[in-house]
Amino acid sequence: MRTSGMITVADMMQILRQKLPNGKPRPCELVFVSANTQKGTGGQIRELSRVVLATGKRQDARRILIKARGLKHPMPVHIDLILYINNTPVA
């Protein structure tokens, strides 16, 4: 179920950077649109649970690296293609 209040990209980044009391990153759920400009593929809606930032820095101006349960390697995601974080829409 989706909630009605939207958050900004800056608020989304703050959620992704949150830590648990033991210092580990706080996992969250993400829904985003896949895209690969090099191969010309994408457009699928992906939903991942237990996602954490792989690094504190952005990969470039608009991409972040995320790690999710079940993925062997970190995955780059363009922040403008993230639709929901923890069932809250991102503007």
- Determine the Cα–Cα distance for residues 3 and 25; give it in Å rounded to an integer: 24
pLDDT number for residue 18: 94
Q: Could you tell me the strand order of the sheet in which 63-68 lies?
A: 75-78, 63-68, 41-53, 28-36, 82-85, 88-89
Domain spans of the chain?
Answer: 9-89
Convert the pLDDT of each residue in 1-50 to its tens digit. Answer: 444 689 999 999 999 999 999 999 999 999 999 988 788 888 899 999 99
Minimum mean pLDDT range among 27-31, 60-64, 65-69, 78-82: 60-64
* pTM for the model: 0.83
